[in-house]
C-alpha cells in the first residue's frame, strides 16, 4: 500500500511538473507572438507559392524579420489558423508583431502598388512608366504590336495612341503590364462611347475616333479646364470653314525624336501627316492620351465664332474672331516673352 502511494505521488509530481512546464512553454509562445519584428522601416515581403511552415520561418529569418527559435513553429501548432499562409507579396510595418505578420500572410491581403498616367502622355511615355514600375510583370515590352493588341483586347485600327485612359491604377505584385493597359483601354473605350452618344449633333466628326483625335489636340493645347471648350470651339469652327487647324502640338508629334524643343520654319514647311499647317482636317491619329475633360470639350465645344487663339503669357490664351485681332494678340504675347 505504501508503495502504491509512493508511485501515485511520483506520478502526480511528474504530471504537475509536466503541466507547469507545458504552461510555461505555452506562456513563452504566447509572449513570443507579441514580440515586435526586427524592422526599422516598411518592408515588402514575398511568400512564394508552395511555401510551408518551415520555409516561411526560413524566409523570415533570412530577411532578418524574426530571430531563429523554436517558438515560431510552436506558435503555428498552437494557433493553426496562422499556419494557413497564402502566397503573395505583403507590406510589413516596423510596429507589427509576429502574430500580426502571420495574420496578414494568412489573410491574403497583398500589398497594393499604384502607377499614374497623366493626361497628355503619349504611349511611349506609358511604356517607359510601365517598364520602370516595381513588381510589375513586363509582357508588353517583348510583344509584337499584333500580340499586344490581342492581349489588351484592342480591336481598332491604327495605333494605340489616345486609346488609354489617364488615371492612377492599383495593382498587386506579379500583375502583368498588359492587364493595366487592358483596364486603361476599356475605360477609355467606355468613356468615349458614352460621350459620343451624348455629343452635340452639329459637330464635324465622322466618327468617335475623330472626336478622340480632337480631344487629344485640346489636351495638348491647354491644361486649363475653363478653356477647353473654347479651344474646342476654335478647331470645330475652323473645320466647318475648311480652314486648316494649324496647331503646333500636332507638328511636334509628327517630328517625334527630331523635335528640338522648338518649332522651326522648316518644320512647318515640311509635309507630314501630322503637320496641320500642310494637311486639311484632322491628323490621322490622336497625338496623346486625353483626359475626360478634353473628351467632353470635344463633344460639347463652346458656341463661339472664335477662329484663333494664342498664349497670353500668364498660362492661358487670348481668343480672337478674326486675323487682325489675332495678330495684335500675338504681338502682345511676343512683347511679354521679350520682357521675360
143 & 208 share domain: no
- 78 found inside a domain: yes
* Rounded Cα gap, residues 141 and 268, in angstroms: 33
Find out whether 306 and 323 touch, Cβ atoms under 8 Å. Answer: no
Find out whether 217 and 198 touch, Cβ atoms under 8 Å. Answer: no
Q: 173, 192, 211 — which closes off a domain?
A: 192
All three cell numbers of 9, joined, read 505521488
| Per-residue pLDDT at 11 | 58
| Per-residue pLDDT at 4 | 62
147 & 251 share domain: no
- 18 found inside a domain: no
What share of the chain has pLDDT > 70, as a percent? 91
Domain hosting residue 178, numbered range: 113-192
| Per-residue pLDDT at 23 | 45
Q: What is the mean pLDDT of the chain?
A: 90
| Per-residue pLDDT at 245 | 97
312 & 210 share domain: yes
All three cell numbers of 94, joined, read 516596423
All three cell numbers of 203, joined, read 459637330
* Rounded Cα gap, residues 247 and 254, in angstroms: 12
213 & 332 share domain: yes
> How many separate domains does the chain show?
3
Residue-wise pLDDT for 52-90, tens only, equals 999 999 999 999 999 988 889 999 998 999 999 999 999
216 & 298 share domain: yes
332 & 263 share domain: yes
Mean pLDDT of the 288-317 span: 94
| Per-residue pLDDT at 17 | 46
Q: 84, 111, 138 — which closes off a domain?
A: 111
206 & 138 share domain: no
Is pLDDT at 31 greater than 90 in this prediction?
A: no
> Which position has the higher pLDDT, 32 or 183?
183
Is pLDDT at 43 greater than 70 in this prediction?
A: yes
242 & 326 share domain: yes
How many residues in the chain? 340
| Per-residue pLDDT at 111 | 96
Considering Cα of 56, then 57, then 62, then 64, what sign does the dihedral take? positive
* Rounded Cα gap, residues 238 and 307, in angstroms: 6
136 & 98 share domain: no
Mean pLDDT of the 99-113 span: 96
| Per-residue pLDDT at 149 | 94
95 & 118 share domain: no
Residue-wise pLDDT for 242-270, tens only, equals 999 999 999 999 999 889 888 989 989 99
- 5 found inside a domain: no
Find out whether 177 and 139 touch, Cβ atoms under 8 Å. Answer: yes
- Read off the CATH number of the domain in which 67 is found: 3.30.1490.480
Q: 64, 85, 111 — which closes off a domain?
A: 111
- 28 found inside a domain: no
Cα distances (Å, whole numbers) of residue 232 to 196, 210, 238, 245, 287: 15, 13, 10, 11, 15
Cα distances (Å, whole numbers) of residue 252 to 3, 167, 247, 249, 256: 104, 24, 9, 5, 7
What does DSSP assign to residue 35? P
256 & 314 share domain: yes
| Per-residue pLDDT at 141 | 87
* Rounded Cα gap, residues 56 and 65, in angstroms: 11
83 & 211 share domain: no
Amino acid at each position: 500500500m505504501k508503495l502504491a502511494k509512493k508511485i501515485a505521488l511520483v506520478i502526480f509530481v511528474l504530471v504537475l511538473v509536466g503541466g507547469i512546464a507545458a504552461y510555461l512553454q505555452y506562456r513563452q509562445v504566447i509572449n513570443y507572438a507579441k514580440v515586435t519584428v526586427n524592422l526599422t522601416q516598411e518592408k515588402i515581403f514575398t511568400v512564394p507559392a508552395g511555401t510551408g511552415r518551415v520555409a516561411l520561418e526560413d524566409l523570415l529569418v533570412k530577411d532578418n524579420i524574426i530571430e531563429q527559435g523554436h517558438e515560431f513553429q510552436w506558435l503555428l501548432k498552437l494557433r493553426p489558423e496562422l499556419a494557413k499562409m497564402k502566397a503573395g507579396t505583403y507590406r510589413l510595418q516596423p510596429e507589427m508583431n509576429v502574430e500580426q505578420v502571420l495574420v496578414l500572410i494568412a489573410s491574403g491581403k497583398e500589398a497594393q502598388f499604384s502607377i499614374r498616367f497623366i493626361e497628355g502622355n503619349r504611349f511611349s511615355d506609358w511604356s517607359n512608366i510601365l517598364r520602370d514600375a516595381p513588381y510589375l510583370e513586363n509582357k508588353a515590352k517583348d510583344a509584337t504590336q499584333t500580340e499586344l493588341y490581342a492581349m489588351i483586347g484592342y480591336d481598332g485600327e491604327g495605333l494605340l495612341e489616345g486609346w488609354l485612359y489617364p488615371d492612377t491604377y492599383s495593382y498587386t505584385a506579379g500583375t502583368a503590364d498588359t492587364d493595366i493597359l487592358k483596364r486603361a483601354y476599356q475605360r477609355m473605350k467606355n468613356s468615349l462611347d458614352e460621350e459620343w452618344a451624348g455629343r452635340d449633333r452639329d459637330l464635324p466628326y465622322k466618327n468617335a475616333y475623330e472626336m478622340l483625335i480632337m480631344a487629344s489636340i485640346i489636351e495638348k493645347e491647354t491644361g486649363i479646364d475653363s478653356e477647353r471648350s473654347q479651344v474646342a470651339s476654335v478647331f470645330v469652327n475652323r473645320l466647318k470653314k475648311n480652314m486648316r487647324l494649324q496647331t503646333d502640338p500636332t507638328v511636334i508629334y509628327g517630328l517625334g525624336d527630331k523635335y528640338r524643343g522648338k518649332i522651326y520654319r522648316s518644320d512647318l514647311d515640311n509635309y507630314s501627316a501630322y503637320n496641320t499647317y500642310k494637311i486639311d482636317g484632322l491628323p490621322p491619329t490622336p497625338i496623346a492620351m486625353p483626359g475626360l475633360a478634353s473628351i467632353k470639350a470635344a463633344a460639347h465645344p463652346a458656341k463661339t465664332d472664335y477662329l484663333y487663339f494664342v498664349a497670353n503669357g500668364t498660362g492661358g490664351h487670348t481668343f480672337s474672331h478674326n486675323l487682325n485681332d489675332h495678330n495684335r494678340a500675338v504681338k502682345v504675347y511676343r512683347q511679354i516673352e521679350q520682357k521675360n
